[in-house]
Amino acid sequence: MKIVVRGTNWIGDAVMTIPALRELRRIFPKANITLHTRSWAEGIFQDANFIDELLPFEKENNSLQTIRKQAKIWREKEFDLAILFTNSFQTALLSKLGKVKKRFGYKNEGRSFLLTNSFAKPDWKNEKHEVYYYLNLISEIENEFFETETVSKNKPVSNLEVSEKRRENARHILKNNGVSINKKTIALGVGSTNSRAKRWSAESYAKLNDLLQKELEADVILIGSENEIDVSQEVFDKSEFKPKIFTGKTSLSEVVAILAEIDALISNDMGLAHISSAVGTKTLTIFGPTNPKTTKPWNSEIIRKDVECSPCMLRDCPIDHPCMKLILPQEVFEKTQNILSI
């Protein structure tokens, strides 16, 4: 059987599909599984042992043109089963135009007529972790093909492999940028590309950096995308003990490997926190406007404050950002000490 999975469009979401992809591999051990996803996801899944092929694509300005191009590729590959982790009408249209025999996805945007098997969003969608949303779709597929229900009984497995070659390259990058192998190395993810409200302040990160370097004698690195260079520079400028800026200087593949080699990541609610947790690094995520019940990195620790307006899910705070301002650098430092000692 030839299976194509249309992957998600954000880094954190992509990592949250890992348990579902692992279960898909388990129930179809001999199938050829292709992950059709945005090109940046190669940096996450290139060493994954639960898929056979990555089919990357770049999104174009004309979405219909993108669909036509991708549908042609799907037809040429003659897929038997399509699984849509995305909720859009366009991806359902892609699966139809791609002439995939069986097309599974959730009912959204009036797209059910394009799918052979469509399912209502679970009643618990906003109450359980997003991992279970993707697993539920695999469970429906298992029931359709085998009339069994083992997926729902298994504990989600979210770990992500990183090859030794990539790890070795990460060690060289760290060393060449002055990171000592004799010290603890802690990364700070100080940005967030899709929401300013998710960001703990640059001043708070600077104070945390100073505590980590002074009290733990740790090397601190700042990581993130090119879009987060400005906030990383602001943290650097406000710090007494200067962290090393990696933000925008590494590919996603390199960042994944670097995260696998360091001692801990402290970050906002962002995709890199999900990656850090998946590669087995101790992870502390600072939550404010978003809901940790549904989207926290699977094996991470979190820190947040209960305020009346949180989670609001807004991209910009219309008031004084209390959910983030009430979180103090000293308590994040102490929480970091605790997770490092475990």
**Per residue in 125-163, pLDDT tens?**
999 999 999 999 999 999 999 999 999 999 999 999 999
Distance CA 300, CA 324 (A): 18
User: What fold, for 164-341?
Assistant: Rossmann fold (3.40.50)
> Two tokens at 128?
């359980």
| Structure-token pair, residue 204 | 């708070």
C-alpha dist (Å) from residue 334 to 8, 145, 297: 35, 50, 20
pLDDT for 65:
85
The span from the CA of 138 to the CA of 318, in Å, is 39
Cα 243 from chain centroid? 24
96 sits in which H/E element: helix 89-97
User: Is-contact 268 198, C-beta < 8 A?
Assistant: yes
Q: What does the domain layout of the chain look like in residue ranges?
A: 2-153, 164-341
Strand order in the sheet with 219-222: 244-245, 219-222, 185-189, 264-268, 282-286, 301-303
Neighbours of 244 (CB within 10 A): 18
Q: How far is CA 97 from CA 88, 92, 102, 112, in A?
A: 15, 9, 12, 14
CB 309 within 8 A of CB 323: yes
- Among candidate residues 114, 101, 113, the one with its CA nearest the CA of residue 67: 114
**What is the structure's pLDDT at 156?**
97
pLDDT value of residue 63: 79
Q: 190 is written with which tokens?
A: 């100080």
Distance CA 15, CA 49 (A): 14
> 131, 294 in Cβ contact below 8 A?
no
Going by the DSSP 8-state scheme, the letter that residue 151 receives in this structure is G
Q: Indicate the pTM of the whole model.
A: 0.94
Q: For residue 186, list its beta bridge partners.
A: 220, 264
Q: What is d(CA 176, CA 191) in angstroms, rounded to the nearest whole number?
A: 24
Contact between 5 and 28 (Cβ < 8 Å):
no
Fold match flag (2-153 vs 164-341): yes
Query: Which fold is adopted by the domain 2-153?
Result: Rossmann fold (3.40.50)
- The confidence score (pLDDT) of residue 84 equals 98
Residue type for position 64: L
Write down the pLDDT at residue 5. 98
In the predicted model, residues of the chain with pLDDT beneath 70 are 61, 342
In one-letter notation, the amino acid at residue 242 is K
Q: Which residues contact residue 341 at a Cβ distance below 8 angstroms, ignoring those fewer than 6 apart?
A: none
CB 66 within 8 A of CB 59: yes
Whole-number pLDDT of residue 313: 80
266: enclosing H helix or E strand:
strand 264-268
pLDDT of 314: 82
